[in-house]
Amino acid sequence: MRVFVNYISGDPAIANEKLCEIEAKLKPYATVFISNVHNKKGKQFRRNIELFRSDLILQLLSPNHLSEIEQKEIVIARKKNKPIIKITVDELLNMNDDQVYQLLSDVEKEGWPLWLIMAVSLLLCVGISLCGIWLSYRYVSQVIGFGKDGDIMNARGLFGDSWGGVNAIISAFAFAGVIVTLYLQNRDLNLQRKEMARQREEFEKENETLKYQRFENLFYNMLNLQQEIVAGLKFEYEIDEEVLVPAGSGGYSIKDKRKTTHTVTGREVFRYTFEKVELLVPDPIISGNEIPVNGYRRYLKNMGLSKYDATWIPTYFDHYFRHLYKIIQFVDSQGFPYEESYKYISLLRGTLSRYELIWIYYNALNPLYNNFKKLIEKYSLLKNIREDLLTKCTETRQYYEKIGLAPQVIANAHFTASDFEFFLTDNNKDDSKYYLTAFWKQDDIQKGQEYIDRWKAFVAQATE
């Protein structure tokens, strides 16, 4: 394939360096003519010749108007029905090899017209026949000669017999017909191959579209199911309340303590279990005795994260956590580009309440759920967490006491004084803590690094 590159001479946007880069891009797949590169003397007749010989005109677009010469070249190319591809310099240079090949291969080279093929075939056949007759004449004249009348007559007879080559002409015409037929079949096959290639591309695009449609249908169904699981949460508890009960026939009432049952449903269950549910913890003063505390916040503060699974409360959310993990794993397993997967996880994140995020935070720190934690870090699932709602586990409190940091001092330095800083790390191999990306997306990870660097500097200064 011969490619004629049409552009505006002297345009600063199309410098010679870029023209050389364009030549290098196209050279493996076509014979390229670029005037400033191959016609440095600027001879117009060579440009015209190359234009007529070309199979494709590659027009480099520019914000400037076309000069008179370039405009004439485009007009001539259109009159000659030459394919024209319009493209900017940057678009062409940013293409990879496969894209350049596809760009050029999509252009159908104009084949010889049928009349020209027939004419060439006819001339070829006539030429072969005449050549055969001439060779026969030469043979007769040289071998037998024309010395005597008899010899001459014999020679004429032999020469006349040599015109039997007309049969060869007829056979040659038949052979020419076969050549034309093969050529036409080959051209049709090429067109069929290109059409099949286009159809294959369309099928691939349709399959990709169907793949996304199937994925989205299942994804949104899973989101709906997740909301149904949340709505189906139901927590009942009993408390002693003073109620008025009839004292007798006189209409008097007296106060009495009775157990009444209350029910918490839906998302309110996450808040109630973390802040209000009554749990028993060992009495720090009287050995063997237990005291009640309200909510998992105070339970973790007294018992520590190591005792997270020691009560029945976390198991209450088993179905919720399993299905949430399956949704994220399902998105992750599709092999989509990261930004595409992140978009779907963001839709999931938007459905999570503030206390759901708190429960997810502590649940995924359990070593049993390390796979869940890795997906949380990959897609920044805890990006919108309320750090002030986190508690201060025994491990965190003991660490602060060990290095001599009072909660007020930490708060004055604009840190949370909660589990957030203690369970935050910039070491992505530390499975006991959350890597930065659990809270900051990859694009914003520098902000997270600055935060943890400031925390490290604060701790170092406080412990000097």
pLDDT in tens, 189-230: 877 877 787 777 777 777 777 888 889 999 999 999 999 999
Q: Do residues 87 and 134 share a domain?
A: no
Domain range for 144 is 114-207
Q: Do residues 325 and 432 share a domain?
A: yes
Helix (H, G, I), strand (E, B) or coil at 424: strand
Last residue of a domain, one of 177, 192, 207: 207
H/E segment holding residue 5: strand 2-6
Strand partners, 245: 254
Can you list the alpha helix ranges (DSSP code H) found in 162-294?
165-231, 268-275
Q: Do residues 322 and 453 share a domain?
A: yes
- Count structural domains, the chain: 3
| String of DSSP letters for 296-365 | HHHHHHHH-GGGGGGSSTGGGGHHHHHHHHHHHHHHHTT---HHHHHHHHHHHHTT--HHHHHHHHHHHT
Q: Do residues 339 and 432 share a domain?
A: yes
In angstroms, the CA 196 to CA 183 distance is 20
Q: Do residues 334 and 439 share a domain?
A: yes
Q: Do residues 127 and 81 share a domain?
A: no
Nearest to 169 by CA among 233, 208, 202, 125: 125
H/E segment holding residue 244: strand 234-246
Full pLDDT tens readout for the chain, 464 residues? 788 888 777 777 777 888 888 888 888 888 888 877 777 666 777 777 878 788 788 888 876 655 555 577 788 888 877 888 888 888 888 888 878 877 777 665 555 666 677 777 778 777 776 776 676 666 666 665 544 455 545 555 655 565 565 566 667 667 777 887 887 788 778 778 777 877 777 777 777 778 888 899 999 999 999 999 999 999 988 877 776 666 665 556 666 667 778 899 999 999 999 999 999 999 888 888 889 999 999 999 999 999 999 998 999 899 999 999 999 999 999 988 999 999 999 999 999 999 999 999 999 998 888 899 999 999 999 999 999 999 999 999 999 999 888 888 998 999 998 999 999 999 988 999 999 999 999 888 999 999 999 999 999 988 87
DSSP state of 388: G
Cβ distance 292 to 283 under 8 Å?
no
